[in-house]
Structures are given as C-alpha cells and as structure tokens.
Chains A and B, each alone.
Chain A
Amino acid sequence: AQSVAQPEDQVNVAEGNPLTVKCTYSVSGNPYLFWYVQYPNRGLQFLLKYITGDNLVKGSYGFEAEFNKSQTSFHLKKPSALVSDSALYFCAVRDIWGYNQGGKLIFGQGTELSVKP
C-alpha cells in the first residue's frame, strides 16, 4: 500500500532563514506526490505536485519541493521563510487503485511550521 511519512511534528525556523519540511514515501510504481498547507481552522490549500519530469518542482508562495527517487523523499523547501508561512503542512501520495482509476490521496500526519521574527 502507498504511504507517506512526515518525520517531524514541528519545525522551527527564524524569519529569513531557509526552511525544509521533510516527507518520505513508499509506493509501488511511479509516485504522484503533493504538498498542501493548512492555516488555523481552515481547509487545505494546494501548494505543488510532482507527477513526472524535473526533480525540482516549484509551487505557490515561493515554495518548492525536491523529488529524490533514491531516497524516496519529497521535501518541501523555501529559500527565505516568512512569519506568514507558519501553518500546518501535509505531504500526500496518490493511492493507485487500478487502470483508469485516479485513486485517493493518502496524507501524512502533518508538520507544524513555526517561523519566528
């Protein structure tokens, strides 16, 4: 079965410093990977996805993610963190059911990012 893991419950970063939120995955076949962000008492917002192609994927709000097949990782990064980036971040992988079936999204447990001034 497909799965994702976010090894850190919380990441603390100073404003202006680079940030990394980690995600590792386990899939059979080609992975379809996603990052979402959730602000307090809100729904999730899509940030970026990896389907195929370049290992560095660029997304919304200056975020990017690096796909590493050998390490089965899909870490979320940003060169310079903002206080407004503080939120809950979810990594997700598409669970493939079968031919012509998109499958459901399986989410990691989430990582709380805190950016301090």
Chain B
Amino acid sequence: DGGITQSPKYLFRKEGQNVTLSCEQNLNHDAMYWYRQDPGQGLRLIYYSQIVNDFQKGDIAEGYSVSREKKESFPLTVTSAQKNPTAFYLCASSIDMRDRGEKLFFGSGTQLSVL
C-alpha cells in the first residue's frame, strides 16, 4: 500500500524545545515538500527537496530545518527560533519537480501545538 506517512499525528512543544516531524514515503518519488497550514491562510511552503542530499528553502523557512539523507525520508525540525509554531504541517511528494503538470501526494498531517 503506497503512500506518505507522517508521524506523530499530534505533537506538543515546550518553550525552547526543538521537535522533529517525521515524513516517510514509499512511492519512489524524487521530490518532497513541507507545507505549513494555518486557518484562512492556505498552505505555505517551508522547504523542498528535489533529490537526495539536496534541499532548498521555501517561502517561510526561518525557524525550521530539514535533511534528506534517504530518498524515502524528509524529516522537519521545528527549532526554538520558530516563535509561532502552532500549525498543521503537511508533507508531500511528487515524482520529480521538472514536470510542471505533476501532481502532489500528501500525507495526513501533524498538528503541532505549543504547551
């Protein structure tokens, strides 16, 4: 059963703490993405990766970090520098980024809240 798995479903962060959101895909996709969703604001791109060992900042990368050591995995760390981390985080993937008609496949999301 192919797809994207995000974990945990709910996550709570204490002040000053770094937390890591997991994203794993078994679709054999080259490209992976992290989006942040806030009510009424749609989705905003945090980071993206076109291929293993490469990643680029999106529109709102400050306070976040990522790694892409394996094709299947693209974890997102929300650092203590992110002052307003409460949001719904969505991971996505696509076959690659060169095809402009390519659609994205999304995980089920992680809701991050601040204690």
Please tell me if the beta carbons of A104 and B42 are within 8 angstroms of each other in the complex.
no
Please tell me if B98 contacts chain A, counting CB pairs below 8 Å.
yes
Please tell me if B52 contacts chain A, counting CB pairs below 8 Å.
no
Please tell me if the beta carbons of B43 and A107 are within 8 angstroms of each other in the complex.
yes
Chain A residues contacting B100 (CB-CB under 8 Å) are 32, 51, 94, 96, 102-103
Q: Mark B1-26, 1 if CB is under 8 A from A, else 0.
A: 00010100000000000000000000
Size bracket, chain A contacts: 20 to 34
Please tell me if B64 contacts chain A, counting CB pairs below 8 Å.
no
| Chain A min CB distance to B4 (Å) | 7
* Contact A104/B33 with A32-B101, A43-B107, A46-B104 known, Cβ cut-off 8 Å: yes
What residue in chain A is nearest B39 (Cβ atoms)? A110
- Contacting residue for B103 out of A9, A46, A110, CB 8 A: A46
Q: Can you show 27 pairs from A to B with CB atoms below 8 A apart? A: A9-B40, A32-B100, A32-B101, A41-B109, A42-B109, A43-B4, A43-B106, A43-B108, A44-B43, A44-B90, A44-B104, A44-B106, A46-B105, A49-B101, A49-B103, A94-B101, A102-B97, A102-B99, A102-B102, A103-B97, A103-B100, A104-B58, A107-B42, A108-B42, A109-B40, A109-B42, A110-B42
Please tell me if B74 contacts chain A, counting CB pairs below 8 Å.
no
| Complex CA distance for A8 and B86, rounded to whole angstroms | 25
Please tell me if A105 contacts chain B, counting CB pairs below 8 Å.
yes
| Complex CA distance for A52 and B101, rounded to whole angstroms | 10
Q: Mark A41-59, 1 if CB is under 8 A from B, else 0.
A: 1111110010100000000
Chain A residues contacting B6 (CB-CB under 8 Å) are 43
